[in-house]
Amino acid sequence: MTTLSDLPHFPSAPKNGQTLSFAITGLDEKGRGTGLLRAAIGPQRDPRAFSCHVSGARPGDQVTVRVLKRRKNTLTAHLLSLDSASVDRVEPRCPHAQVSGADHPGCGGCRLQDLSYQAQLDAKRHRLRTALDREGLTSVQISEVWGAEEPWYYRNKMEFTFGFDGEGRPSVGLHPAGYKYEVMALETCFLQSPEVAKLLPALAQWLKTTRPEHYNPRENTGFLRTITFREGKRTGDRLVELTTTGDERTQWAGEEAPSEAVVGAMTEAIRSLAATHSVGLTSVIWTRHIAAKGIRTRMESTAVWGESSLSERLELGDHGSLVFDIHPRAFFQTNSRQAETLYRRVIEMATQGREELGTVLDLYCGTGTIGLALARVCERVIGIELNPEGVASARKNAADNGIGNAEFHAGDVGETLDALGLSAQPVDLAVVDPPRAGLNAQAREQVCQLSANRVVYVSCNPDSLANDLVYLRKRGFAIGEVEMVDMFPHTAHLESVVVLNRT
């Protein structure tokens, strides 16, 4: 047991520029290594604990750092030396991965490639555990961590930026970690499918001969903004979306040309390159990002070739399957296979001890995926979503799947629950999947006023989740199973699902 005399002594709290050494025990929400520095401060040797956040450090490392900033008991620090490396460190698979001590910043896409996948899962469990403990939920157990069977090639959507590298050369790829404007050209990417990964470098090579105008956000000039690849992992559909500015004319091969002609030429090139590399495509979409001072920014999409959307199918085991029509800018879970795991667990938690449910509320329903997954095990689904486009997609998805017992409403969750008078109606279950901030005060109160004896809470932020769980427990709910689903391997993001039962 550490005593006060064992603690390192500092004349004052750590200052900017000070050098410190300590062990890394976890990861924060940005994927930075975290460690707890305990010290005796000042002439009175007051015991203090400082939470230290270090980019490039990994759980199990022993590090020496230089303090960059202190805010109360939280330190941000720069890694000076890796004194003892974690046994869980591995060689990154991708040549663009961010590596501790490297001269280049590395790609900002997936920052944990230098940590074994099991260690990533352990670190995410630790982060969820820490968030629960911080709110006094020390008795709550994390019963399961659902890792991905295939932690590579899992993304069904990747967006790449047309821009300029650090030397001002036109480039298409991703932003380096910590850089807002520079774009790193990619040789490959292990997050999208191997088939799609072939297209980007081939297209970048072809663009060198045509010299199109890449968009420059610093000067608000140029034409090509982004290229997005979306695919149905179960269906094989593949959609390419070219997003440009709203300019009617642009530069092409050193001459001015109509924007429509440039997009047409790029579409033919994309189709030709796809055929050369045996990549099946189902559509190419042109989206114009129209922005000008004094007018509302809008996005206008046109199918240049093929269908205006793609389809994806989710397999839900004993609960059948669902097919979703996904438009270029519609939200859909980025990891289709892990979305299947998440939704299966939601259904199983919802129906635990019940053969059939009455009315189910799907709050913050997005495009209706969770509600539609539950529609076959209940009498009625009522979904509420702030985004009207999401509600329109949810209604279409219900129709496409022959689901007639689901209705969807556009509006703020708290206000709409109140307006529909749902607190006075019989409700068996409420599923909540709020944004990162968690439930707002009105939504919290409305959920507690429902007659539902069970709430299933899906969360993308362990801190707001823990805060909401404390509130719901005070209002008469017992916290049951807490599980984690790893939707984004090699990143710090984590998704949790919790069942609460009214006592």
Cα–Cα distance measured from residue 265 to residue 276, given in angstroms and rounded to the nearest whole number: 16
Instruction: Quote the pLDDT of residue 100.
Output: 58
Stretch 45-58: mean pLDDT, rounded? 94
Instruction: Quote the pLDDT of residue 107.
Output: 84
Instruction: Quote the pLDDT of residue 103.
Output: 60
Cα–Cα distance measured from residue 479 to residue 468, given in angstroms and rounded to the nearest whole number: 11
Using alpha carbons, list the distances in angstroms from residue 382 to 100, 364, 375, 425, 457: 48, 11, 10, 12, 16
Ranges for all domains in the chain classified under CATH 2.40.50.1070: 157-311
Residues annotated catalytic, as ranges = 460
Instruction: Quote the pLDDT of residue 432.
Output: 97
| Tokens, residue 198 | 């072939």
Average pLDDT of every residue of the chain: 93
Residue closest to 172 by CA, chosen among 93, 104, 270: 270
In CATH, what number does 135-149+335-502 get?
3.40.50.150
Q: What is the pLDDT of residues 402-429, one digit of tens each?
A: 999 999 999 999 999 999 999 889 999 9
Ranges for all domains in the chain classified under CATH 3.40.50.150: 135-149+335-502
Q: What is the pLDDT of residues 303-316, one digit of tens each?
A: 999 999 999 999 99
Stretch 316-332: mean pLDDT, rounded? 89
Instruction: Quote the pLDDT of residue 99.
Output: 65
Ranges for all domains in the chain classified under CATH 2.40.50.140: 4-133
Angle between helices 462-474 and 441-449 (to 10 degrees): 40
Stretch 445-473: mean pLDDT, rounded? 97
| Phi-psi label, residue 45: left if phi above 0, alpha if psi -120 to 50, beta otherwise | left
Q: What is the pLDDT of residues 261-312, one digit of tens each?
A: 999 999 999 999 999 999 999 999 999 999 887 788 999 999 999 999 999 9
Where residue 1 falls among pLDDT bands split at 50, 70, 90? low
Q: Other C-beta atoms within 10 Å of 256: how many? A: 8
Q: What is the pLDDT of residues 153-204, one digit of tens each?
A: 999 999 999 999 888 888 899 988 778 889 998 888 999 999 888 899 999 9
Q: What is the pLDDT of residues 16-37, one digit of tens each?
A: 999 999 999 999 999 999 999 9
pTM, two decimals, is: 0.92
Instruction: Quote the pLDDT of residue 203.
Output: 92
Instruction: Quote the pLDDT of residue 168.
Output: 86
pLDDT at 105 over 80: no
Cα–Cα distance measured from residue 210 to residue 255, given in angstroms and rounded to the nearest whole number: 10
Where residue 101 falls among pLDDT bands split at 50, 70, 90? low
Kind of pairing between the strands at 26-27 and 33-41: antiparallel
| CATH domain 157-311 topology | OB fold (Dihydrolipoamide Acetyltransferase, E2P) (2.40.50)
In CATH, what number does 4-133 get?
2.40.50.140
